């Protein structure tokens, strides 16, 4: 018999029947499902529903066997590097209708193999790092973001498989070329527009201006140097002219006058 006030394991109350299943279910939710979210289990696959939960950041305790993660309609402002790196089984990730402005270059690391759909629509994304989405094979939704159409965005889109159902809703909120502001980005790209060529031209002009500036400085220095030497030579000549002249020595072989 154990000490007074303690119970042996065999004497502990154990839930039976339906209460036992409820106990295990509640225990599982309490340890693996983010607070205020729901995590229904279907044949061992977990769907995590965190829609409209007023979340300001991505939860840290998402179950590792989640295949669906809905974080839409919250107040998430950024997607940090490695936010989903432990979710290797994830198939669908919904981050739409948030306030996302910043996407880390390694934000979706670990999701490249299995992810099938990534929804980033209806956010505040202006720029997308090329490496952030380049390794994904998933369909990506980017509609209704204030995108800045530039070379970096064009290069990022070359690596993506955009969702065909929403691709026409991707528009240039601002642009390196003003004539495309407010117009669908895909139409511009399909028409052969290259925002990278604009960047290259700008770089070439900047290099040309810089080289011209250096050339002008060199020419100005040479002109100054030449003029300075001419001035020094003139002053030296005037100095020699101002010296008193001395009579020439008489030659003894010359005839007497």
Window from 103-112, 148-157, 187-196, 235-244 with minimum mean pLDDT: 235-244
Tokens of 132: 């952030």
Q: Is the pTM of this model over 0.95?
A: no
pLDDT band at 229 (very low <50, low <70, confident <90, very high): confident
Query: CA nearest 83: which of 34, 24, 31?
Result: 34
pLDDT band at 119 (very low <50, low <70, confident <90, very high): very high
Burial 194-219 (b: 16+ CB within 10 A, else e): ebeebeeeeeeeeeeeeeeeeeeeee
What pLDDT shows up at residue 67?
96
Q: What are phi and psi of 45, to 5 degrees?
A: -100, 135
Does the pLDDT of residue 123 top 50, yes or no? yes
pLDDT band at 245 (very low <50, low <70, confident <90, very high): low
Mean pLDDT (whole number) for 162-176: 93
Query: CA nearest 147: which of 182, 113, 179?
Result: 182
**3 state SS of 188:** helix
Spatial contact of 89 and 66, defined as CB atoms under 8 Å apart: yes
What pLDDT shows up at residue 206?
53
Pick the CATH number of 46-196 from 3.40.50.12780, 3.30.70.260, 2.40.50.140, 3.80.10.10: 3.80.10.10
pLDDT band at 57 (very low <50, low <70, confident <90, very high): very high
Mean pLDDT of the chain: 80
Spatial contact of 96 and 122, defined as CB atoms under 8 Å apart: yes
Tokens of 81: 């590097």
Task: Identify each DSSP E strand in 25-138 by its residue range.
Answer: 41-42, 45-49, 66-70, 78-79, 92-94, 102-103, 117-119
Does the pLDDT of residue 116 top 80, yes or no? yes
The answer for residues whose C-beta is within 8 angstroms of residue 230's C-beta and 6 or more apart is none
More confident residue, 164 or 42: 164
Other beta carbons within 10 angstroms of residue 47's beta carbon come to 17
pLDDT tens string 65-109: 999 999 999 999 999 999 999 999 999 999 999 999 999 999 999
Does the pLDDT of residue 1 top 70, yes or no? no
Distance of CA 185 to the CA centre of its chain: 19
Does the pLDDT of residue 205 top 50, yes or no? no
CA atoms of 143 and 118, how far apart (whole Å): 12
Does the pLDDT of residue 242 top 90, yes or no? no
């Amino acid at each position: 018999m154990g000490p007074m006030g303690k119970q042996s394991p065999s004497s502990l109350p154990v839930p039976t029947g339906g209460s036992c299943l409820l106990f295990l279910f509640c225990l599982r939710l309490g340890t693996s499902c983010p607070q205020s979210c729901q995590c229904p289990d279907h044949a061992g696959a977990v769907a995590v529903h965190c829609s409209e939960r007023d979340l300001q950041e991505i939860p840290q305790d998402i179950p590792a066997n989640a295949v669906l993660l809905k974080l839409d309609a919250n107040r998430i402002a950024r997607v940090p590097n490695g936010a989903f790196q432990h979710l290797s089984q994830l198939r669908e990730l919904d981050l739409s209708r948030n306030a996302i402005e910043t996407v880390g270059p390694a934000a979706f690391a670990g999701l490249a193999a299995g992810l099938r759909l990534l929804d980033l629509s209806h956010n505040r994304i202006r720029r997308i790092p090329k490496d952030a989405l380049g390794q994904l094979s998933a369909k990506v939704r980017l509609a209704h973001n204030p995108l800045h159409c530039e070379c970096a965005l064009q290069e990022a889109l070359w690596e993506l498989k955009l969702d065909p159902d929403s691709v026409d809703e991707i528009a240039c909120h601002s642009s390196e070329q003003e004539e495309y502001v407010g117009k669908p980005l895909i139409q511009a790209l399909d028409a052969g527009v290259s925002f990278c060529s604009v960047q290259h031209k700008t770089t070439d002009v900047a290099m040309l201006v810089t080289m011209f500036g250096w050339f002008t400085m060199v020419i100005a220095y040479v002109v100054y140097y030449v003029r300075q030497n001419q001035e020094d030579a003139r002053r030296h000549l005037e100095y020699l002219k101002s010296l008193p002249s001395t009579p020439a020595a008489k030659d003894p072989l010359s005839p007497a006058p």
